[in-house]
Amino acid sequence: MADNTHALEIRDLSKSFGHIKAVRNASFDIPEGSIFGLIGRNGAGKTTIMRMMMNVYLPDSGEILLRGKKVDQAFRNSVGYLPEERGLYKKMKILETLLFFAELKGKKGKKVSNKAKDYLERFDLVDRINSKVEELSKGNQQKIQFITTILHDPEFIVLDEPFAGLDPINTNILREIILEKKREGKMIIFSTHLMDFAERMCDHIAMINHGKIILNGSLSSIKTEYSQKNVTLTYEGDISFLENHPFVEKISDFGNSTGIRLKDGDQTQEFLKLLLDNNVKIKRFDAEDISLHEIFIELAGKGPEEDFSFAQ
Amino acid sequence: MLNNRIIAIIKRELREKLMSKSFIIMTLLIPLFMLLIIGLQMLIAVYEGDKGTRIELITESEYLTESCKTYLTQQDFVRDGTYVITYDTVPRRSLKSHIEERKQEILSEKLNGVIFVPSTALKNKKIEFYSKTPTNISIFEKLDNHLNEVLIDQYFSEKDLNDEELNFARMGVSFNGFKVSEKDELEEEGFGNTAMALLFAFLIYFSVIFSASMTLNSVIEEKNSKVVEVLLSSVNSREFMTGKIIGCTITVFAQMVIWLIPIIILVTTSWITLPESFSIEISYGHLAFFLFNFLLASFIYQGLSATVGSIFDNPQEAQSGFFPVILLIMIPFLLAFTMMRNPNNPIAVVASYVPFATIIVMPVRFTLVDLPVWKLILSQLINIATLVLIFPISGKIFRIGMLRTGSKPTFREVLRWVRS
């Protein structure tokens, strides 16, 4: 039975290229109306997952469900896709290019043409409307590529590394449009290795490492959970009893302080009591906030086998 | 079958190709190129490069030498200086020493050769030629008929024949071809249909080669510019390949129709009148068959070249994969030429039912000989079967190949794609 809160469900997707397993049993859900970030290091498998979502690659196994049903051409018609490796016909004129890609999605006519001109104006490219794509700078070509992604007013906007290669001004324009689309009720799915962008824009994320989803859920719950699990401790006394203790997942000695990761974020109070019961003199006990970047570094540094899942 | 996405791709292909300068240039250039080739061949035939050929003609009798001289000096190729012939009378026993004397001139090519007409030639017509290049067919072809006539004159001069009888004896045999067909009348056949068969073979060959290489490069460009990923997110690979091939085929088909306009005018109107020896016997049905066959040929070769293009990353590497495709059209093209001499050549007859070969061989054969309709239908069924067989395979290779980059795949790897 499909969960109505999930627009897209990725179920056990796997894809290999020869002996290389690019994606291994990846599963995650993308809730309705969210901005979803697929994050991971370069080569982690983000693009392969996106390509499978777009039916560019056929998965070796697994499936993608749109509101409980397998994705089909109707889904593809309702998606705007910006691939990581941008590509346009170099000899085509800009307006022709925009109208061609809109027509592939079943949209044509005066309305689309006017909308294309509006977007060109917004990106400061309206004076280049009759230029050939090859006559534009790489950055401007990227803007055209982005317009082709959204011109047909898709319900889903899938962006693979959308900010790569853009200057700060155009990055802002792009971000504004993405947020505007979210306000219009569109779903935005993007991949990035830039954690600060993901943290600022996403409601939900899935983190992929070595082809495996190692973390997924709502950003707020992930951060809450992670900050609760992380304790920074400054103390006097002997804490060797914490090694292999069932509460503790990991201990990192930072010199002046010690970082302790608990297995369960709900055990913070019990952990504090444990220290006091063992006569540890506590100078500082901080159940700290944590950035997505830190979570990423922490998890991406681990082996591929570990998996963390959070409630949404 | 043709949805909006395929139509959008077809429209883009037509906009890019049909409206392009290169299409207009190629449409004009290929007929010019063909005319150039035919003109060049004619020029070579007319100008054989034998201007200034120096020959010494020797016989064993003064009388025969004089007869040769009298006859040959009247010929155009001697009068205009193309051939410079000197004459001498030398008996057989002195021939060797005579050749020795001429040896340096022959070796330095100041003298192209010595023709010796022995007295026995009046009985067996055997003539000897001494030269650095003793198998010079051009000299034989130029002189054999003339020397034959001199010998005939000599032979019959003692037989007391009148001029009419002598002229008859001089004449060779001339064949006139009459076509036996389903029609009631027997019509004398000129060389028009042979020329037309040659033209058809050239048109199919050049058009297929040029359009296939155009498709090959266009696919490689789409792959290199990464536009294919955006396309495949909107359409599936089958739709993309279908749209592309149909677009390219419409382009080359339009080009072919433009090239055939003079032939269509010739067949449908009486605006152009050809000399009788070049009269063309071609019907509407013939043209329709040619165009239908070309349409299928175009689909087949566009499909093959799109497939090859999808395998490789750059045009240089693609040439190695494109070569077998070129062979598939080049071999039947060469076969078609052998048919010009004998349209019922068994190899050509078999080839007209062999996949790929039938594309050129059958239209050429049909232009030269009348064929029953079932044979024509059979050849087109073979084309359709070829198309049906190669398209699923091409589609599989295309889908995987278009998104693959990196080192050139091995043949075994491509086979794996097909099996996948």
Name the β-bridge partners of A282. A235
pLDDT of residue B47 exceeding 90, the answer is no
Element (H, E) at A183: helix A168-183
The structure tokens listed for A61 are: 């196994």
Domain A223-309 falls in which CATH fold?
Alpha-Beta Plaits (3.30.70)
- Quick one: pLDDT at residue A288? 64
pLDDT classification of B381: cutoffs 50, 70, 90: very high
**ipTM score above 0.90:** no
A77-108 pLDDT per residue, tens? 889 999 888 789 988 999 999 999 999 998 88
Give residue-wise pLDDT tens across range A124-138: 898 999 999 999 988
User: B366, exposed or middle or buried, with CB in 10 Å at 0-12, 13-18, 19+?
Assistant: buried
Amino acid of residue B145: N
- The CA distance from B238 to the nearest CA of chain A, in Å, is 12
In angstroms, rounded to a whole number, what is the distance separating the alpha carbons of residues B198 and B340? 8
A 145-184 near B (Cβ less than 8 A): 145, 148
Distance (Å, whole) CA A267 – CA A228: 9
* Contact (Cβ atoms closer than 8 angstroms) between residue A80 and residue A28: no
Q: Does A274 touch chain B (CB under 8 A)?
A: no
Cα maximum dimension of chain A: 78
A215 in helix, strand or coil?
strand
CA distance A81 to A97: 15
Q: Which residue spans of chain A are classified as CATH 3.40.50.300?
A: 6-215
CB pairs under 8 A between A and B: 66
pLDDT of residue B182: 67
Residues of chain A contacting residue B10, judged by C-beta atoms under 8 Å apart: none
Instruction: Let me know if domain B52-174 sits in CATH 3.40.190.10.
Output: yes
Is A301 a residue whose pLDDT tops 80?
A: no
- Sequence-distant (≥ 6) Cβ neighbours of residue B13 within 8 angstroms: B243, B244, B246, B247, B248, B250, B251
Parts of chain A belonging to CATH 3.30.70 = 223-309
Q: What is the pLDDT of residues A153-164, one digit of tens each?
A: 999 999 998 888
Q: Tell me how close the Cα of A163 comes to any Cα of chain B, in angstroms.
A: 17
DSSP assigned state of A85: S
Residue B114 reports pLDDT greater than 50: yes
Q: How far is CA B184 from CA B95, B180, B188, B315, in A?
A: 62, 9, 13, 56
Chain mean position to CA A63: 19
By Cβ distance, the residue of B5, B228, B235 closest to A87 is B228
Q: How confident is the model at residue A312 (pLDDT cuts 50, 70, 90)?
A: very low
pLDDT of residue A117: 94
What is the Cα–Cα distance from A47 to A39, expressed in whole angstroms? Answer: 10
- In this predicted model, what pLDDT tens digit does every residue of B180-201 receive, in sequence order? 666 666 666 666 778 888 888 9
Kindly report, residue by residue over A175-230, the tens digit of the pLDDT: 888 888 988 889 999 998 888 788 888 889 999 988 899 888 888 888 877 777 77
DSSP, residue by residue, A110-139: HHHHHHHHHHHHHTT-GGGTTSBGGGS-HH
End-to-end CA distance of chain B: 25
Give the torsion sign (CA, B163, B165, B166, B170).
positive
Return all residues near B296 (Cβ < 8 A) that are at least 6 apart: B359, B380, B383, B384, B387
Kindly list the domain boundaries of chain B, sorted by start residue: 4-37+191-419, 52-174
Alpha helices in B2-91 (DSSP H): 4-17, 21-46, 62-72, 76-79
**pLDDT tens for each residue of B116-126:** 999 898 888 89
d(CA A29, CA A10): 6
The answer to whether domain A6-215 has CATH 3.40.50.300 is yes
pLDDT exceeds 60 at position A306: no
Q: Please tell me if residue A93 touches chain B, with a CB cutoff of 8 Å.
A: no
CA distance A82 to A152: 13
DSSP string across B210-239: HHHHHHHHHHHHHHHTTHHHHHHHHS-HHH
Going B345 to B350 to B351 to B353, the CA torsion angle's sign is positive
Question: In the structure, what pLDDT confidence band is assigned to residue A305 with cuts at 50, 70 and 90?
Answer: very low
Question: Could you give phi then psi for residue B146, rounded to 5 degrees?
Answer: -65, -45
Using CA atoms, how far apart are residues B103 and A144, in angstroms rounded to an integer? Answer: 81
Question: What are the tens digits of pLDDT across the range B225-244?
Answer: 888 888 888 888 888 999 99
Contact across the interface for A91 and B16, Cβ inside 8 Å = yes
Instruction: Tell me whether residues A148 and B230 touch, CB distance under 8 A.
Output: yes
